[in-house]
Amino acid sequence: MTDDLTALRATIHGKVQGVGFRYATRRRAQELGLLGWVANGPDSTVVAHIEGPPAAVEELLAYLRRGPPSAHVTDVETEQTPVEGHEQFAIRGIPAGVFVVQEHAATTHHFDLRLEVAGVMRSWALPKGPSLDPAVKRLAVEVGDHSIAHNTFEEQGRVIVWDRGTYEQGGRVPWPEALTRGHAVFVLHGQKLHGGFALQRTRAADKPQWLLIKRRDADARPGSDIVAQRPESVLSEHTLDEVLD
């Protein structure tokens, strides 16, 4: 079935960032039944990975050379790339929602990673917390959804907001389908956690077990221990153990 598909990486030069270019590209790609992604690239370019039937790919390229009305395209470079098997046409670099990591002194001390998905905070309990070291795989036990209102909850000696920010959904599969299938890639923009992460389900059970793994990118910090280095709350700047006045 993939025999009649082609894939291209296109770099679009000109006045193309911040003028609705990515949204317009996604709209046209979806109309043409194409898959892949579009993102802002280096040096004020827009970069698109486009895969689908050759005629439709050519049609999208013709559209990109003209650009949406508010853009001014000076050049489009293309190179052939392998078909990656995308299942959506995504805009990368656009927040999908908020995330929070709470440190929780329960019966067993742990951290809770929560990602906003479809109006709730999907949650995983991490006995050792997150890591920015790609060689470290951290157990993440899926737990019940929390409300978005709980994201700022702190209680002296029991819960602190260890990190928070926004995140982008990544990968080839759209969310929440990626979570259902057990392999979800995302990019965090927090105060302590940055860059690409993957959640990989290893055991589907009553309390499904996952691994949280930092992806190898510019934000990876091999050998680091962010939990030890930055123990403070991003809201109150107190640590979990500190007695507050």
Q: What is the β-pairing status of strands 35-40 and 89-91?
A: parallel
> Could you say whether residue 51 binds Mn ion (CB under 5 A)?
no
For helices 21-31 and 54-66, angle between their N-to-C axes, nearest 10 degrees: 150
Residue 154 CA to chain centroid, in angstroms? Answer: 26
Give Cβ neighbours of residue 10 (< 8 Å, ≥ 6 apart). Answer: 47, 48, 50, 61, 64, 76, 77, 78
> Could you say whether residue 103 binds Mn ion (CB under 5 A)?
no
Distance, CA of 35 to CA of 207 (rounded, Å) = 34
- Distance from the first to the final alpha carbon of the chain: 66
Q: Give yes or no: 181 in active site.
A: no
Distance, CA of 85 to CA of 195 (rounded, Å) = 23
Closer residue to Mn ion in complex, CB, 112/163: 112
Q: Report the nearest approach of Mn ion to the CB of residue 150 (Å).
A: 10
Size of the site for Mn ion (CB under 5 A): 2
Which among 57, 72, 59, 93 is positioned nearest to 13, based on CA atoms?
72
Q: Report the nearest approach of Mn ion to the CB of residue 111 (Å).
A: 8
Q: Which of 27, 28, 40, 215 is catalytic?
A: 40
Closer residue to Mn ion in complex, CB, 86/104: 104
Distance, CA of 215 to CA of 165 (rounded, Å) = 18
Q: Report the nearest approach of Mn ion to the CB of residue 162 (Å).
A: 12
- Stretch binding Mn ion (CB under 5 A), from 67-75, 109-117, 196-204, 215-223: 109-117
> Could you say whether residue 104 binds Mn ion (CB under 5 A)?
yes
Q: Which of 22, 26, 114, 122 is catalytic?
A: 22
> Could you say whether residue 112 binds Mn ion (CB under 5 A)?
yes
- Stretch binding Mn ion (CB under 5 A), from 68-76, 80-88, 100-108, 130-138: 100-108
Closer residue to Mn ion in complex, CB, 113/179: 113
- Stretch binding Mn ion (CB under 5 A), from 14-22, 72-80, 90-98, 105-113: 105-113
Closer residue to Mn ion in complex, CB, 130/196: 130
Q: Give yes or no: 151 in active site.
A: no
Q: Report the nearest approach of Mn ion to the CB of residue 135 (Å).
A: 26
Contact (Cβ atoms closer than 8 angstroms) between residue 10 and residue 3: no
Q: CA angle, corner 137, sides to 133 and 138, nearest 5?
A: 105
> Could you say whether residue 142 binds Mn ion (CB under 5 A)?
no
3-state secondary structure of 88: coil
- Residues near Mn ion (CB under 5 A) are 104, 112
User: What positions carry a catalytic annotation?
Assistant: 22, 40
